[in-house]
Structure formats: structure tokens, C-alpha cells
């Protein structure tokens, strides 16, 4: 879905006039066009399912090289068959941290930007690392709330990969906090969304520590 650039240009001209300025003066003549181009880029994800970025995945089954390795007899007794990999060992998470993103808050139309930390536990299929970045980019390229964006990324990974567990942490600085109102230029907002096995408090704490999300990595 593409934005209607003509309508955006007309609306920006009206806003400039409403602000008491002259849209026809030299410094503003091209502003409506520039804003329309900017919005086309910022909102390129409108109407796009972020999970589409994960259409190409890879089989995570190990390549056979003889006998399978021995399982750990000390494995947590709470581990179920759904938590085991093809060798019968506890499935391990894939982690990707410090994914830079930017989005636009739907409340004041001001930008917010930061880093996304993503982890998932595969259940047969894995995604290319660039595809995970593309999910974050797609989900953030629309009017958003940080809380919803966190859920959108987690939902896309869970649906497309049928992942055993998903954990997404966003750490972002908001224009509506830094440029207006409280004007807290140093504060950030952290949101978390967990699914499946990574919703378990102990597993979530372990993976969050590995991601470094609790230490403000990526700022």
C-alpha cells in the first residue's frame, strides 16, 4: 500500500498556512513535496505483513555425521519433548541484538528510535539474520506505539517460524518525551514481549541477560 503523495502535499501546505506562514515563499515551496517523500519512506510498511520477510527459511536439522551426541542426563526434568532439538538436547535460542530501528508515534506524529534485541528458539526452521532485521524494519515503518511494535515483531516471528519461544526487547528514545512536555533527553523506554518457552520467567531472564537488554546495550 503506497501513501497518497498528492494528498500529503496538499495537507502540508494547509498546515503551513495554518501556522501563519506562507507556503509559497521560497524556503517552503518544496517543503510539501519533501514531506510527502519522507512519509512515503517512513510509512513503507503500511499494509504489509512483517512476517512476509520470513518467507524464505532454512532447515535447522543437524547434518548427520554418524552417531548422535549423548544427551545431558542432568537436563532439567521439566524439559519436554517439544523443548528438544533433533538430537534430543534442549533447544537453544538464536539471538540478534542491537538492531537499529526508527518509527513514528501515532499520538504526536513524532519519531522514536532505538534498538531491538530479538531471540527465538527454533522448531525446525531458522531465518536468515537479514530477514529478522527486515521484520523489525517492516513492523516499524508505520504509525506505531512501542508496546504494539514489540508485540508485532514477536507475533511475526512466532507465526512465520513456528518458533518454540520468542523474546523481543525494544529500547527507544521518544520525540514526544525529548522534544515536548517533560523534555527528558536522556530517558529511554524499554518494552518486552515474550512467547512460548521464553515466556517462562527463568528462561526469559537468562536470554534477556544474554541479549544485554538489561544493561542498555546499543545506546
* Contact yes or no for 137/41 (Cβ under 8 A): no
Single pTM value for the model: 0.84
Q: What is the pLDDT of residue 91?
A: 77
Q: What is the pLDDT of residue 163?
A: 95
Position 86 pLDDT exceeds 50: no
**Active-site pick, 37, 108, 113, 206:** 108
**Active-site pick, 37, 113, 176, 206:** 176
| Phi (first) and psi of residue 135, to 5 degrees | -65, -45
pLDDT tens for 160-204 read 999 999 999 999 999 999 998 888 888 999 999 999 999 999 999
Would residue 105 show up in a list of annotated catalytic residues for this protein? yes
> Domain map of the chain by residue range?
5-42, 50-60+83-215
**Active-site pick, 105, 117, 137, 158:** 105
**What is the rounded distance in angstroms from the CA atom of residue 23 to the CA atom of residue 14?**
8
Length of the chain in residues, anyone? 219
pLDDT tens for 49-80 read 999 999 888 887 665 555 555 544 444 554 45
Which is higher by pLDDT, 33 or 71?
Answer: 33
**Active-site pick, 106, 147, 184, 215:** 106
Would residue 146 show up in a list of annotated catalytic residues for this protein? yes
- Topology of domain 50-60+83-215 in CATH is GTP Cyclohydrolase I, domain 2 (3.30.1130)
Would residue 106 show up in a list of annotated catalytic residues for this protein? yes
Position 148 pLDDT exceeds 90: yes
For the chain, what is the mean pLDDT?
87
* Contact yes or no for 83/91 (Cβ under 8 A): yes
Mean pLDDT of 33-62: 92
pLDDT band, very low/low/confident/very high, at 124 (cuts 50, 70, 90): confident
Instruction: Encode 175-216 in three state secondary structure.
Output: HHHHCCCCCCCCCCEEEEEEEEHHHCHHHHHHHHHHHCHHHC
Strand arrangement of the beta sheet that strand 94-105 belongs to: 143-144, 94-105, 111-121, 165-174, 189-196
**What is the rounded distance in angstroms from the CA atom of residue 142 to the CA atom of residue 39?**
9
Report the range of poorest mean pLDDT among 81-95, 135-149, 158-172: 81-95
Q: What is the pLDDT of residue 185?
A: 87
Position 6 pLDDT exceeds 80: yes
Report the range of poorest mean pLDDT among 19-23, 75-79, 97-101: 75-79
Q: What percent of the chain has pLDDT over 70?
A: 83
**What is the rounded distance in angstroms from the CA atom of residue 127 to the CA atom of residue 55?**
9
Which is higher by pLDDT, 99 or 176?
Answer: 99
pLDDT tens for 125-138 read 899 999 999 999 99
Would residue 176 show up in a list of annotated catalytic residues for this protein? yes
Amino acid at each position: 500500500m503506497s501513501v497518497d503523495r498528492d494528498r500529503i502535499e496538499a495537507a502540508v501546505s494547509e498546515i503551513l498556512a495554518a501556522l501563519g506562514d506562507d507556503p509559497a515563499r521560497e524556503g517552503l515551496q518544496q517543503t510539501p513535496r519533501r514531506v510527502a517523500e519522507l512519509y512515503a519512506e517512513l510509512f513503507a510498511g503500511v499494509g504489509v505483513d512483517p512476517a512476509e520477510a520470513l518467507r524464505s527459511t532454512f532447515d535447522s536439522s543437524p547434518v548427520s555425521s554418524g552417531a548422535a551426541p549423548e544427551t545431558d542426563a542432568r537436563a532439567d526434568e521439566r524439559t519436554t519433548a517439544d523443548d528438544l532439538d533433533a538430537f534430543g538436547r534442549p533447544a537453544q535460542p538464536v539471538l540478534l541484538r542491537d538492531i537499529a530501528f526508527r518509527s513514528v508515534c501515532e499520538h504526536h506524529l513524532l519519531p522514536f528510535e532505538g534498538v531491538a534485541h530479538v531471540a527465538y528458539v527454533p522448531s525446525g526452521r531458522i531465518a536468515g539474520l537479514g530477514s529478522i532485521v527486515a521484520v523489525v524494519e517492516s513492523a516499524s515503518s508505520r504509525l506505531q506505539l512501542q508496546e504494539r511494535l514489540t508485540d508485532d515483531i514477536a507475533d511475526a516471528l512466532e507465526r512465520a517460524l513456528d518458533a518454540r519461544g520468542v523474546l523481543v526487547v525494544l529500547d527507544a528514545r521518544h520525540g514526544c518525551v525529548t522534544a515536548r512536555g517533560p523534555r527528558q533527553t536522556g530517558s529511554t523506554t524499554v518494552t518486552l514481549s515474550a512467547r512460548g518457552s521464553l515466556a517462562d520467567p527463568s528462561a526469559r531472564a537468562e536470554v534477556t541477560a544474554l541479549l544485554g537488554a538489561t544493561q542498555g546495550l546499543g545506546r
